[in-house]
Structure 1
Amino acid sequence: MAVTRITALTFILAVFYVCGSTNAAPNGRILEGNDAAAGAYPWVVSVRVDNSHVAVGNIIDASHIITSGHVVSELGSRAIAVSRVSVRVGSINQYAGGQIVNVESINIHPSYGNFLNDVAIIRLQKPLTFSAKIAAIALATAEDNESLVEGTEVAVAGWGLQLSGASPYKLQQATLKVLSSHECEYQAGYGYDSVLCLEHGVNQGIARGDDGAGVVVNKKLVGVASFFFGAGGTKFPDVSSRVSYYSNWIAETIAASNDA
């Protein structure tokens, strides 16, 4: 069901969501998660702005990372300077290990705005060398999307703030559940075809620092974490961008960057 409105309730609940600039802290975290083992999520990277972690990225091929658009946005679909952005790959420690790779280009979805189309493709300056700790994740197809019925368990991993307010050095993992578009519209006004909503218990879910985290089923990327409501961990669902919805844009963006 396509929905073409943003409700007043949505606006009020999302008042803490930063939707346009990395000058303010972006929202996202995994609350009450567990430490991830080294190599368990080899596609996960730390996206860094001005040498500080701001979001999670997901390796989709040796040269490209997918993440949330708002974390690399200066204004709307205009990206911040690539010189400010880098990624740490091959480490579950956001502060050390692996390697830091600089960025060549950033493409934010041209229709990003108003909490929607919150995806971006980052091209790295040099291709990654894959290993047990560095690998790409497959993107979900339309067929995979059809199997995402309500209650489907999904894995999410990130370095978001914990309930204590501390930023974990080690990658955290959690299991959330798919919420149907109908139910997400009822609970939060977000029954859009382009988003995938996730339900969780109170004091669980994503929060600041988990922006861009991959939503994964059977080692396929089905979503990219976008935002949460209020201060995070509320009774309302977390919202992610549905990867299969953007299949054509992702393929076209990668092809264009390879030709540039």
Structure 2
Amino acid sequence: MRVIVAVSLIIQIVSGARIQGSIALPGPDICGGDVVGHRIVSGNNQVIGSEFPWLVVVQYRPPNGGDLLTPCVGSLINQRYVLTAAHCVTAYDMGRPVSVRLGDNSTRVGAEFVILDIEEIYVHEDFTRSNFLKDIALIRLKSEVSYSKNIKPICLPSTVGQLRLREGHPLTVAGWGLLNDVPSTNRQYERVTYLDNDQCRARYSQVDIVVDPSHICADHSRDTRCISDGGGPLMAYHNGVCVLHGIMAFGGRPCGVKNLPDVFTNVGEYDQWIKKHMWP
């Protein structure tokens, strides 16, 4: 597996056929399904059955060669590609990303899932770890995944039409996350709301952290839960399907810091970048 920091030279040598293949994103008839709309904005926080079937666990081989670690997640966007955060695939102290786990509701031993090896990773060429700017990466799998009830892609904003988010708009995060700062073994989801960037920036200025216009913020009312994992999805229900609006970059810690919203990379800002780095 190779980790590739995409630069302009790489983009220039991409063939016409490769670029044509980059637009092969599933439409609403395939992506973003198997999520009951009313449960996205209400109800219990534990994922039931095949909800959020695009959630992917990224598996890392630690530097000491021990058991695989799972500190980050991603979102399946077609049969070959997963979107995640750049900080998840460039933090080599966590180890080397080697595979992904799909169709998994639980991290417990004995859970049913599919494991696919990673072929390549494309990291945004302008990613900045110090402030999580351009915090986006594309994982190419070594082979195509077969869709099933528990494995399906999420829709990107460009495939269903842009949704203009306004203050307080209901959104959803999902992942395994933490409960009382202990990793959860079950997949969970949480209702959050869109927070205007100006307000988000003002809150984080109190702790000297910069929120950029390319970020998207989500407010929460949690107490001791942190549902979002690094690289996890921020989703909106739009035109009957679930749409990926953000990729988890950072948030207030420890869990329960109510004044600090979660901050995500705004996926809509990177539609062309994503398509340029996808190939059949």
| 1:118–1:205 Cα change, 3 Å | farther
- 1:150 is displaced (CA, Å) by 1.1
Alignment map for 1:145-164 (pairs within 5 Å): 145-163=162-180
SS in structure 1 of the partner of residue 182 of structure 2 = coil
- 1:97 is displaced (CA, Å) by 1.4
Distance 1:146 1:170 in 2: 30
Alignment map for 1:57-68 (pairs within 5 Å): 57-68=74-85
Q: In the alignment, what sits opposite 2:143?
A: 126
Unaligned 5+ segments in structure 1 are: 1-32
CA contact (8 A) 1:34 1:174 kept: yes
CA contact (8 A) 2:179 2:224 kept: no
Distance 1:214 1:159 in 2: 12
CA contact (8 A) 1:206 1:228 kept: no
Unaligned 5+ segments in structure 2 are: 1-43, 62-67
SS in structure 2 of the partner of residue 216 of structure 1 = strand
CA contact (8 A) 1:156 1:175 kept: yes
- 1:110 is displaced (CA, Å) by 0.8
Pick one of 166, 175, 183 that aligns with 2:199: 183
Distance 1:211 1:242 in 2: 14
Please give the per-residue CA displacement for 1:176-204, whole angstroms capped at 9, x wherever unaligned. Answer: 11101121122224552211011112526
- Determine if the alignment matches structure 1 residue 110 to structure 2 residue 125: yes
| Residue type of the alignment partner of 1:141 | S
- Determine if the alignment matches structure 1 residue 249 to structure 2 residue 273: yes
Q: In the alignment, what sits opposite 2:216?
A: 196
SS in structure 2 of the partner of residue 241 of structure 1 = strand
Distance 1:205 1:176 in 2: 12
CA contact (8 A) 1:90 1:134 kept: yes
Q: In the alignment, what sits opposite 1:54?
A: 71
TM-score, structure 1 normalization:
0.77
- 1:146 is displaced (CA, Å) by 4.9
Please give the per-residue CA displacement for 1:163-222, whole angstroms capped at 9, x wherever unaligned. Answer: 1x3322110110111101121122224552211011112526646x71111111110101
Which structure exhibits the higher relative contact order, with contacts defined as CA atoms closer than 8 Å and separated by 6 or more residues?
1
Q: In the alignment, what sits opposite 1:34?
A: 45
- 1:56 is displaced (CA, Å) by 1.4
CA contact (8 A) 1:59 1:137 kept: yes
Distance 1:204 1:120 in 2: 29
| 1:205–1:212 Cα change, 3 Å | farther
Distance 1:69 1:247 in 2: 16
Instruction: Supply the RMSD in Å over aligned alpha carbons.
Output: 2.3
Distance 2:221 2:264 in 1: 17
Distance 2:153 2:159 in 1: 19
- 1:74 is displaced (CA, Å) by 4.3
| Residue type of the alignment partner of 1:200 | H
Runs of 4+ in 1 over 4 A off after TM superposition: 142-146
Pick one of 140, 146, 157 that aligns with 1:140: 157
- 1:160 is displaced (CA, Å) by 1.2
Alignment map for 1:166-177 (pairs within 5 Å): 166-177=182-193
SS in structure 2 of the partner of residue 34 of structure 1 = coil
Alignment: residue pair count: 217
| Residue type of the alignment partner of 1:169 | T
TM-score, structure 2 normalization:
0.72
SS in structure 1 of the partner of residue 106 of structure 2 = coil
Distance 2:124 2:203 in 1: 27
CA contact (8 A) 1:205 1:238 kept: no
Distance 2:79 2:159 in 1: 23
| 1:142–1:123 Cα change, 3 Å | closer
Pick one of 242, 246, 258 that aligns with 1:223: 246
Distance 1:224 1:55 in 2: 11
Q: In the alignment, what sits opposite 1:213?
A: 232
